[in-house]
Structure 1
Amino acid sequence: MTYDGHLKIGIVCSSNQNRSMEAHNFLSKKGFQVRSFGTGSQVKLPGAAPDKPNIYDFSITYDEMYKDLIRKDPDLYTQNGILHMLDRNRRIKPKPERFQACKDKLDVIITCEERVYDQVIDDLESRTKDEKQAVHIINIDIQDNHEEATIGAFMICDLVTLLHTSDDLDNEIDEILQEFETIVDRAILHTAAFY
């Protein structure tokens, strides 16, 4: 696989809110070509009770979510960090994006949990393809909270940096991932698919 000097990176979590957006923010500041996505059918944010999440459609903007939560309970959503997160998100891009709707070809897709990894693989396998471009799908499990999202963003950035410096990613990726797995002491999943 040859690159024009820039890997096209996709970061995917369930709702394109916390983990994928923290990594998106971090990688874009480092100059990487990155997009972020969610695989869920809807965007879910914590609500006033664990069984009452705030549920939105992927078409709603981060700004609209922010204003909705301010209207509902500004103290709660300030205290739990959701308003801060949405404020960051709306500075990066207008709204969450579903991976299943992305028609662009990426070089590397990094998912933040195994269920999302499986959804990305299922979606790619269901697409009509010409088998001309490989895409590497990698999973690093990252808990869905603000602290873990920040730690995860650093890990993802370290991994993307290693992948970016490879002269022959298709042949070197397994070795890079084995070494990285030892460094971060987390299980890494990897598979290759085609567009």
Structure 2
Amino acid sequence: MRMGRLRHAMVCSSNQNRSMEAHSLLKRHSFDVASYGTGREVKLPGPSLREPNVYPFGTPYKHMFDELRRKDPDLYKRNGILPMLKRNCSVKLAPQRWQDNAADGCFDVVLTFEEKVFDLVVQDLSNREHKLMKTVLIINMDVKDNHEEAAAGGKLALELCQELEAVDCWEDSIDDIVAAFEKTNNKKLLYNISFY
């Protein structure tokens, strides 16, 4: 039975793969979840590294999907971008930027998938005025940016969230939860506690 004690935000730097994979999986398991990017814009792979497809945050995933399907359907199907965008369309309307939207919610747990994003989120939360004095747990789990690793990272994010949700007070259990998770999954986690 889902107790509803947690609300989660998936965060990664203008990447629509890792955070959205975790968002999709957590949503299917009835978690209250949101996802954000932290870059200036959304960048998707293009025909070469020097030619990414760049979109402003707020551009609907359907618009990106339709545009890339018109540009080169074989390329974007082969590199997994069209299936990724199709998945994203079923999760939410458009990508959102942490710095512009994260104040809208009061999350219990924020997951990041690369250390530089973890640092940015920790810094952003520590620079805010702490009006509610409500704790928020920020956890980083490094996940490589490819479709296979994103799928594996999403499953690990779900497992971690389920472990956090299973305890009455994560503040009292976080050290033990992290240690057991790291040992079981051979995955190093960084974590920090901040406030709203």
Q: Name the TM-score, length of structure 1 as normaliser.
A: 0.95
Match of 1:52 in 2: 51
SS class of match (1:150): helix
Counterpart of 2:186, as a letter, is D
SS class of match (1:47): coil
Matched, 1:79 2:81: no
Alignment of 1:109-148 (within 5 A): 109-130=110-131, 132-148=133-149
**Residues of 2 paired with 1:144 and 1:14: CA distance?**
11
Match of 2:10 in 1: 11
Q: Please identify runs of 4+ aligned residues in structure 1 that moved more than 2 A.
A: none
Structure 1: gaps of 5 or more residues: none
Counterpart of 2:66, as a letter, is K
Is 111-120 or 9-18 further displaced after alignment?
9-18
The percent of aligned pairs where both chains have the same amino acid is 45
Match of 2:183 in 1: 182
Number of matched pairs: 192
8 A contact 1:109–1:135 mirrored in 2: yes
**Residues of 2 paired with 1:71 and 1:159: CA distance?**
39
**Residues of 2 paired with 1:51 and 1:118: CA distance?**
27
**Residues of 2 paired with 1:58 and 1:37: CA distance?**
10
**Residues of 2 paired with 1:131 and 1:171: CA distance?**
20
Following superposition, the deviation at residue 168 of structure 1 comes to: 1.4
SS class of match (1:175): helix
Alignment of 1:16-55 (within 5 A): 16-55=15-54
8 A contact 1:8–1:34 mirrored in 2: yes
Following superposition, the deviation at residue 60 of structure 1 comes to: 0.7
Residues 8-48 of structure 1: CA deviation (Å, up to 9, x unaligned): 11111112510010111101111111111111111010010
Match of 2:96 in 1: 97
Match of 2:166 in 1: 165
Following superposition, the deviation at residue 131 of structure 1 comes to: 5.1
Following superposition, the deviation at residue 71 of structure 1 comes to: 1.9
Residues 55-97 of structure 1: CA deviation (Å, up to 9, x unaligned): 1100211011111111211110011110000001011100001
Match of 1:69 in 2: 68
**Residues of 1 paired with 2:131 and 2:175: CA distance?**
24
8 A contact 1:16–1:97 mirrored in 2: no
SS class of match (2:47): strand
Counterpart of 1:145, as a letter, is N
8 A contact 2:15–2:44 mirrored in 1: no
**Residues of 2 paired with 1:91 and 1:10: CA distance?**
17
Counterpart of 1:150, as a letter, is A
Structure 2: gaps of 5 or more residues: none
* RMSD of aligned alpha carbons: 1.1
Following superposition, the deviation at residue 5 of structure 1 comes to: 3.4
